Amino acid sequence: MARLTYVEAIVAAIAAEMRRDPRVFLLGQDIGPLGGVMRGARGLWEEFGDARVLDTPISESAMVGAAVGAALMGKRPIVEISFGEFLPLAMSQLVLQAANIHYMTAGAASVPMVVRTRIGDGPYRGHPQCYEAWLAHVPGLKAVLPATPYDARGLMTAAIRDPNPVIVFEHMQLYHLLRDEVPDEDYEVPIGQAVVAREGRDATVVATGWMVHRALAAADALTAEGMSVEVVDLRSLAPLDIPTVVASVRKTSRLVIAHESWKVGGIGAEVSASIAEEAVDALDAPIVRVGAPHAPVPSARSLRDLFLPDEESIRKAVRKVAEF
């Protein structure tokens, strides 16, 4: 066991897989001697060298396309798009190539590649827009968004070993925020499995990424008001683990969904619709979603704080479902 930050856990997962599997290599910008944006590739170039840690030009579409081509040849490329805001530059490669190839070739080819990218509000505030729901919408892609160092390592390991294209959304707010006990030996967190991060009886808060931490803080605060709140961390956005949410809702009968990205068309809309379809009979109150207002994420700290869902907005939502 070592106490690692979120980003250290991600780098540890990549390094371990690169040691284990010579097919794994990295493509990205500033991942060589610099050690990656926000230390996101620290030590990899020193250990694995120029051939396996490739600094690329600013060419997001060709980077992802090249990963598709290499994956078709049996390699296990990890391509780093510095920030999730730039995923749209590679969208055709992601949604028409990577996502389609296995199905469209009737199973003759597959694309075992990882796209790692940074999203969300972070210590430097840059590049905060969160597009993860766009990608979760597309069949043939898997998408994960770890909230803890333990899950970050386990999900990255699972992503690299997965025979499909997997997008790993790394939350910038969590990068250096906290340390967790992370096992030294390899392990996987299965893609497509949510986890109950905190047990409770009176309401369920389903959350992703940074909002998992805000939901946990809100749940702690609400004990003072006599409420027992369960928090479910989705961890994977595609496939989405609806059974875990259904089980929690059957226990608590009340559901709040909280994410940092826009409420409109966010992953919460899909969770909400699935619960309406599968467990509406278990609900004692309408579902409440907490997400960003429908506007581009503003830059100034003061505006950002007004804009993003916070602990208080989650507490309010829980009170609302509880008091219905």
Decide: 32 and 58 in contact? Cβ < 8 Å.
no
Q: Is 15 in the site for another protein (CB under 8 A)?
A: no
Rounded Cα–Cα distance for residues 113 and 100 (Å): 13
Q: Which of 28, 32, 35, 65 binds another protein (CB under 8 A)?
A: 65
Q: Specify the pairing of strand 236-238 against strand 195-198.
A: unpaired
Q: Which of 30, 43, 100, 177 binds another protein (CB under 8 A)?
A: 100
Total chain residues near another protein (CB under 8 A)? 48
Q: Which residue, 92 or 299, is less far from another protein as judged by CB? A: 92
The question of whether 127 is a catalytic residue gets the answer yes
Q: Which residue, 60 or 180, is less far from another protein as judged by CB? A: 60
Q: Which of 35, 40, 77, 122 binds another protein (CB under 8 A)?
A: 77
Q: Is 92 in the site for another protein (CB under 8 A)?
A: yes
Which alpha helices (DSSP H) does 80-231 contain, by range?
91, 101-104, 132-136, 149-161, 210-223
- The token pair at 62 is 């060709």
Place of tokens 């610099």: 34
Q: Is 154 in the site for another protein (CB under 8 A)?
A: no
Decide: 214 and 170 in contact? Cβ < 8 Å.
no
- The token pair at 76 is 């296990």
Residue 170 CB, nearest approach to another protein (Å): 22
> Residues 234 to 263: which contact another protein by CB under 8 A?
none
Q: Is 140 in the site for another protein (CB under 8 A)?
A: yes
Q: Is 22 in the site for another protein (CB under 8 A)?
A: yes
Q: Which of 118, 127, 161, 289 binds another protein (CB under 8 A)?
A: 161
Residue 176, phi then psi, degrees to nearest 5: -120, 15
Q: Which of 1, 33, 57, 226 binds another protein (CB under 8 A)?
A: 57
Q: Could you give the string, one character per residue 162-201, with x where binding to another protein holds by CB under 8 A and - elsewhere?
A: xxx-------------------------------------
Q: What angle do CA 302, 128, 46 make, to 5 degrees?
A: 125
List of E strands, the chain: 2-5, 24-28, 53-55, 76-83, 114-119, 142-144, 166-171, 179-182, 195-198, 203-207, 229-233, 236-238, 255-262, 288-292
What residues are annotated to the active site?
Answer: 127
Residue numbers of the site for another protein (CB under 8 A)?
Answer: 22-23, 25, 49, 51, 54, 56-57, 59, 61-75, 77, 92-93, 96-97, 100-110, 112, 139-140, 142, 161-164
